[in-house]
Structure 1
Amino acid sequence: MDFDELLNLEEQYYQEGFCEGQNENIKQSFLEGKQYGLQVGFQRFVLLGQMEGMCDVIESYGLHNPILEKNIQTIRTSMKGIKMNNDDESVVEFEKKFVKLKNKFRTILITLQRLNKDKKDGVLTFEAFEDVSRAIAGEIRGFVENEDTNKKNSTQDQAQSW
């Protein structure tokens, strides 16, 4: 009977436990990464969807304002060119177009305010529009190692911890 294997029993159980822990960590990290990616993707495109929906609502009013119609058409055309992947080039292109779309949508809201200058109670600002988007999508902040996250601003406005 060989008793040498019994002397290494503790090391064997330690190695098995260590491997199980590593495998479980890999599975959890993958799941958390997927959840984070889905949330960030949703947050990036929810505002665009709301802008497009608001353009539909504005068009349904039939205001027949050429400036308003031109700006709405510009937004629709720009949105068609946005790619929904995560390549570096697509992300840079998205960020550039997103700033332009936000500014163009601001002009639409300002035009609406001018058309409805009689009604002071129903004023919709872009900040209020973004607040609705934040309430729907929530916001998360990515973790940056070796930086004090309390003092730094994230790339997203008013983000909360994940």
Structure 2
Amino acid sequence: MSSDPFDDILTLEDQFFSEGYRQGTEDGVQAGKIEGRSVGLAKGYEKFLESGRIHGRSVVWANRLSLPQKTAADTSPGEQQQKTCSLPPLPPNARLEKNVTAAFALLEPDTLSKENSDDAVNDFDDRFKRAQGKVKIIERMTGEAAVKVGAEIRSGESKDA
């Protein structure tokens, strides 16, 4: 028995370090999963919120497109009273119509996959980026600027400060 009685005491620091490192790693993995899930949910919510906003704008633009008007003889008096619009129609332009239709089709809710797979997420991100590009083109063509909703409110800063 050549075992030194002080071996356990001399390696005590290494044992505590190893045990603490193992526990810290396990706790970090668990905390990382929780934080990753919450960040993922927040980012997903922001993307779907923005896609809904873009889709809504494309619906409004589609309704403002200059469509062939019916003559007064073709419309009934009831239809003439219902056709009140507070927004001016968009100028007739084939390129504008094509971009509005594309923006509408890219983010149509019925065609978007809500699965949590890599392919579905990549498809959504691709369509979302393409729709954002179409919106920028439409904004430039119509002279309408996008309104940043809540950007200054969330940060607590204003442009005047």
TM-score, length basis structure 1: 0.48
Q: TM-score scaled to structure 2, two decimals?
A: 0.49
Q: Which of these two proteins has the greater Rg computed from alpha carbons?
A: 2
